A and B are shown apart, each in its own frame.
Chain A
């Protein structure tokens, strides 16, 4: 399915689309207030961007430094070229420990690698412990947002879902009641888990430690009870120094949800006594992006989701319309880079308004990359015949001044004389909900010449 089709479906339920838009705009406004409370906000963004660009320029060095330091702390470090290898590594580790029950805190990387279905297929029980992710998991859906995975679901629907799966009262929709129920349900899973899987927000090259940010403390709990912790990270998550955290942690939560900082920023430096810690460094297409200068900056993404919250198209089409683990502006760059054939409409689900670029805490030039991505798809001949042909035609027409003015004049005359039903026909996408401009008798160039003639100026 293409984005326009799925977006049309979403908009067809107008009250729901409006509700979705408002919910995310509320988060965007919270972010604005938080950003405004930091006088050096723009300097922080520039600083974060510079750190990320520097890191990307020497990524192998910092990754190897991180590996060496982590190993020195007693961490088992694994490298995975793609999602399949990542999943196999986890399978092997779990098998070795005879672990059957897994609790997992939020990790978009494991979503990207489709870890849950893989583990379930192999007989493991995987429980997502982030509340939003748990809701989505129980509903057998995927997250529609990288920070707010269940933003597309109303509280009444959560009530229905919990009634069915957790035995809450029928018709209950009080968020506090439902959260309490989820808490009790998750607590049992935490206590019986054999292994905890987490993502990684920042991996520090100079120390070999890493940081996981959550609001619910579920990452801490999930890895503190079992004797096995597996942390999965994309190659781009490494930062050079521990002091760089001072920049990123200030930006991340403010940009993501408008909080000054995430409730929990959990630092892990080697395994706890008597337990094992594994880190899996996953490429899955990232080094390919690194090799493309025009898209390299997209690797700076810290997955705050601010570009989704601000994107006027995302807010009105919903995360699932992107059919991609990471939706919204950043997803419309990262995903077509991997699977251009399946996701060729994503870079066009964008008006190039530039709001994403201005909101991005690491200053990724998102809307310019979305524009570049369109050229990338053209070079791969993936624009679609009708788009390419109409642009070829338009280019030819506009290249000749005479053809342009003749066609313009003909169009204006036609619009004046054609009956309404012929103009507003089913093929006229513009005219479904909008009027066309009222055609003037004379073009500007004709009026300008008349004006000059009247005032005696040469035309």
Chain B
């Protein structure tokens, strides 16, 4: 199994620990991996701004960098959704390489559960964890049930976390409201963005969250920015970091 790591550009530069936690998880499950060095960005910032001609070279580059791998794994639902759901305008339907790369790009929890058939993480993590459901993972990749739809779905990340010993979860008032990051929205609509983030953080504070987690560092970058500015006592970790840390703590027999 030839696996490539796709580490989103801002994770590469600002949250290397999330990439390293992903590496640790793949190592633990015996998956050989490579990091194709030419990779940069999937093109989402440009595409979400409506600048399709500017996003295009990055989509082409992505396919070029990742073609030939069996699986491409990323610790980000948002970037995976960009590749899987929003690349169609850049390629023709017959473009074999693009079709294959898009199909083979997986979000981390999806890869663990649906490809490796991981059902539990044997380890310990003692804390009250608050889950932030990142929108693109939830409503674009359907990695869990959204509160709007009446369709039961398995929550991949929550199930993995729940299998860890010692972990407990905070109960939120609004289980999957957007954090307000939204890419350039965070700055273009700063007032609403920060109010949204503040509301999420307050929900977690009231629910007793000690560790705030999500599948996307972009949401967490925004929420952590607010938490640190307001000096709240909440630690922020990508779910890969929690899983990886749990693996290093033995389970009590």
Contact = CB atoms under 8 A, between A and B. Distances in A.
Contacts of B48: 352, 371, 374
Given A401-B38, A445-B37, A435 B225 contact: yes
A17 interface: yes
Interface stretch (B8-16, B115-123, B159-167, B205-213): B8-16
B92 to A, nearest CB: 18
Interface size classification for chain B: 35 or more
Interface string B93-125: 000000000000000000000000000000000
A357 interface: yes
Given A312-B192, A433-B190, A436-B225, 8 more contacts: A310-B148, A312-B177, A351-B178, A352-B48, A358-B148, A375-B50, A394-B54, A412-B13
B124 to A, nearest CB: 24
Listed residue (A353, A367, A399) with the most chain B CB atoms within 10 angstroms of its CB: A353
Contacts of A10: 191
Contacts of B178: 312, 351, 353, 355
A119 interface: no
Report the 5 A-B pairs with minimum CB-CB distance, sorted nearest first. Answer: A374-B50, A351-B182, A434-B225, A354-B139, A358-B148
A213 interface: no
Given A412-B13, A444-B16, A35 B41 contact: no
Interface stretch (A217-225, A232-240, A281-289, A383-391): A383-391
Listed residue (A347, A433, A439) with the most chain B CB atoms within 10 angstroms of its CB: A433
A384 B228 CA distance: 33
B52 A352 contact: no
A215 interface: no
Contacts of B182: 350-353
A57 interface: no
Interface string B46-60: 111111101101100
B19 to A, nearest CB: 4
Contacts of A11: 191-192, 195
A79 interface: no
Nearest to B139: A354
Interface in A419-459: 429-430, 432-437, 439-440, 442-448, 451
22 contacts: A3-B189, A12-B191, A32-B148, A38-B150, A42-B151, A351-B193, A358-B148, A374-B48, A375-B50, A378-B50, A404-B41, A408-B12, A412-B13, A429-B190, A433-B194, A434-B197, A434-B225, A435-B225, A436-B225, A440-B14, A440-B17, A451-B23
B45 interface: yes
B57 A316 contact: no
A264 interface: no
A437 B229 CA distance: 11
A245 interface: no
A433 to B, nearest CB: 4
Contact of B14 (A17, A404, A437): A437
B197 A355 contact: no
Given A312-B178, A378-B52, A399-B58, A443 B16 contact: yes
B241 interface: no
A447 B58 contact: no
A451 B26 CA distance: 14
The SS class assigned to the B binding surface is: helix
A4 interface: yes
A388 B193 CA distance: 21
Contact of A435 (B9, B46, B199, B229): B229
B188 interface: yes
B174 interface: yes
A398 B60 CA distance: 12
B9 A398 contact: yes
Contacts of A436: 225
A408 B37 contact: no
B189 A7 contact: yes
Listed residue (B19, B41, B51, B146) with the most chain A CB atoms within 10 angstroms of its CB: B51
A391 B191 contact: no
Nearest to A314: B192
Given A353-B178, A437-B14, A437-B224, A316 B150 contact: no
Contact of B61 (A3, A12, A391, A399): A399
Nearest to B41: A398
